[in-house]
Structure 1
Amino acid sequence: MCIAVFLWQSHPLYPFLLLLNRDEYHNRPTKASGWWEGGEILGGQDEVGGGTWLACSKQGRVAFLTNVLELHASPEAKTRGDLPVRFLEKLVKEAHQYNGFNLVMADLVCKSMFYISNRPKGEPVLIQEVKPGVHVLSNAKLDSPWPKAQRLELKFRKLIENAEDAISMEELAEKLMRDKEKVADRSKLPHIHSLDWEYDLSSIFVEVDTPLGCYGTRSTAGIKVRASGEVSFHEIYLENNKWKAHTVTYNIHRSNQKVEQLCI
């Protein structure tokens, strides 16, 4: 499970802002964010499946992923972590081979963003353009009114509106993504899994003791893109049971060649 809130093409200084909590078992081997081999893709890496939940490139592309909360998952399905680094055209043909996913892909140079999901199962792959504004992605469709998604969106909007010219991703991450408040009204839970499990997952920052070990938020990533093309990738992550943080900054490479559009 994961949750993300992002602002797209609706701020005078920042065309894109993203905050994303990755929820996973704390004992699952994971690499903190960094440049992958070749130096063109930046993101964390799941050392079991080999994929990622969030990646961006020097060419101005960003992709991030959440799982769909559903009762039955296929153990034979491909790892969803592959999705952020695949091309959209190929994904459409192979989407049925994955368990339920929500994927957002953006091209910051051509100012296009698309949301892709392979659920409901058995229906055609959903592909829709993401409109400018504030959006939240949890474990249902984009902007689904789940309680924690609604709370996160409201708090994000307030902080952005009250922020001065310079927005601190470190401050946003601390004030928004460390929220451990659980849903007050259990009737508002999706009722897909057991109510106890859904209640444990109903906070923005998740922390649950299970027979398989601690499950919950093990990293918070923040991406801030300035109108100039400067990208700041800030990550707070758990390593050997200790919280660490680092920031990577780079500039988008704007090619003079025609930019490939993220559309079909």
Structure 2
Amino acid sequence: MHGTGRPTAQALLLVANRDEYYARPTMPLHWWSDEDILAGRDQQAGGTWLGVSQSGHLAALTNYRDPHNQRDDAASRGEVVSHFLRTSGTAEDYLNGLRHRAKDDNPFNLLVFDGNRLMGLESRHARILNLPEGVGAVSNADFHAPWPKQIELANCLQQLIRQGRPDDAGLLALLQNRNVAADTALPDTGIGLPLERALSSAFVSLPGYGTRASSVVRVGTSAIEFVEHGFDANGPMQMQRVVLAGK
């Protein structure tokens, strides 16, 4: 789940949660030894869910929730994030090249920022979106789908921005909200009401599965700040903050 905003004096603000099985091996936020990429890393498949590059590119991905349309032989979706971070081209060029190949992957939503334009891709429709200035959010359905958690996150993020430059503590508090939505507001994605309810909070905590990382990324005119607070089955882990200057 991601929320994005464009407060003044800042090109992009992104807040995001990564939900995953606790058993899936993961490296926390770090500089990749073989790339100019700052991101966590999925040690099972090698890709990532959210990252930035030294050149100022940013990419983030959410899986599209569709339990009846999943292929076990598909490539890891995290590769489309790291592939963009390796490029020096534009967001538009990358998405145009990816849109028709993406049908071979399990469905996903991809958010990319090249320093100038913020764009999205809905892989199942091969649809590219130009994302305008303002506040928006995407979860595990199409962009702009009215899921309760993303509506609440976008509204709360907008309120914080109106009050001034939101600090990391306030933004992380939004991501760590455990309130579940009313049953009448829940989507029906084929996983059953109890699980829909449990996954409707911004911060997810279930046996064996939950929010593994809460992230705040600020892309400015001269630097990128990346904050990640990690979690495992036992609770909070170390928080990291990395600043990339002179991009």
Q: What is the TM-score with the length of structure 1 in the denominator?
A: 0.84
| Alpha-carbon separation, structure 2, partners of 1:252 and 1:146 | 38
Residue 216, structure 1, aligned to residue 223, structure 2: no
| Percent identical residues | 32
Does structure 1 conserve the Cα–Cα contact (< 8 Å) formed by 2:160 and 2:166? no
Residue 20, structure 1, aligned to residue 16, structure 2: yes
Matches within 5 A, 1:1-264: 3-8=1-6, 11-72=7-68, 73-87=70-84, 88=94, 89-108=96-115, 111-119=116-124, 123=125, 125-163=126-164, 166-173=165-172, 175-184=173-182, 186-192=183-189, 193-209=191-207, 214-227=208-221, 229-238=222-231, 241=234, 242-253=236-247
Superposed displacement of residue 240, structure 1: 7.7
**Cross-structure match for 2:91:** none
| Alpha-carbon separation, structure 2, partners of 1:47 and 1:232 | 24
CA RMSD of aligned residues (A): 1.6
Report which stretch shifted further, 16-25 or 231-240. Answer: 231-240
Does structure 2 conserve the Cα–Cα contact (< 8 Å) formed by 1:59 and 1:252? no
| Alpha-carbon separation, structure 1, partners of 2:205 and 2:166 | 28
Q: Could you list the runs of 4 or more consecutive aligned residues of structure 1 that deviate by over 6 angstroms after TM superposition? A: none
Does structure 2 conserve the Cα–Cα contact (< 8 Å) formed by 1:33 and 1:44? yes
In structure 2, stretches of 5+ residues that fail to align are 85-93
Does structure 1 conserve the Cα–Cα contact (< 8 Å) formed by 2:136 and 2:144? yes
Superposed displacement of residue 162, structure 1: 1.1
Superposed displacement of residue 216, structure 1: 0.8
**SS of aligned partner of 1:96:** helix
Q: Which has the larger radius of gyration?
A: 1
Does structure 1 conserve the Cα–Cα contact (< 8 Å) formed by 2:216 and 2:228? yes
| Alpha-carbon separation, structure 2, partners of 1:39 and 1:70 | 32
In structure 1, stretches of 5+ residues that fail to align are 254-264
Does structure 2 conserve the Cα–Cα contact (< 8 Å) formed by 1:104 and 1:116? yes
Does structure 1 conserve the Cα–Cα contact (< 8 Å) formed by 2:22 and 2:233? no
**Cross-structure match for 1:262:** none
| Alpha-carbon separation, structure 2, partners of 1:158 and 1:179 | 16
| Alpha-carbon separation, structure 1, partners of 2:245 and 2:130 | 25
Does structure 2 conserve the Cα–Cα contact (< 8 Å) formed by 1:60 and 1:252? no
**SS of aligned partner of 1:12:** coil
Superposed displacement of residue 84, structure 1: 0.6
Superposed displacement of residue 28, structure 1: 1.3
